Amino acid sequence: MLQKITELKEFRVYFSNTSTPWYFAKPDDTSKLLKRIGYTNTNVSLHNDYINLISRKTYRRFVKTVIMKPFLEQLPEEKIKNKYLELFLHEVENNSFSSNESQTTWLLDYVRLNIIAEKP
């Protein structure tokens, strides 16, 4: 959803020379790195999960601060930032997994990288 909004004509200009702000390490790469820097008994895995935030306001605050921060920093003024954020929230509302049409389920799904390792 975020990419869809970023590619809209009114926002595209702000993101034309930027790259993805995140790097998501793969379990194999992480395991190799840990071994290379001296860890033993490594166990690295991915875990799919989600969190259900209680309201639009809470969801908005979380995504603005944690997820969308590097995107919002590319935008020049508060008015444009708020429009970008509101369009994203509108997409979430329209694509909600809620069975009750009068109530949006404010879910965030994510993949967590679990790491267990020992340093001798």
Residue type at 110 in one-letter notation:
Y
Domain range summary for the chain, segments of one domain joined by +:
2-15+25-118
Report d(CA 34, CA 42) in Å as an integer.
Answer: 7
pLDDT tens, N- to C-terminus, the chain (120 residues): 788 898 899 999 998 888 777 889 999 999 999 999 999 999 999 999 999 998 999 999 999 999 999 999 999 999 999 999 999 999 888 887 554 555 667 889 899 999 999 998
CB 14 within 8 A of CB 74: yes
pTM of the full structure:
0.76
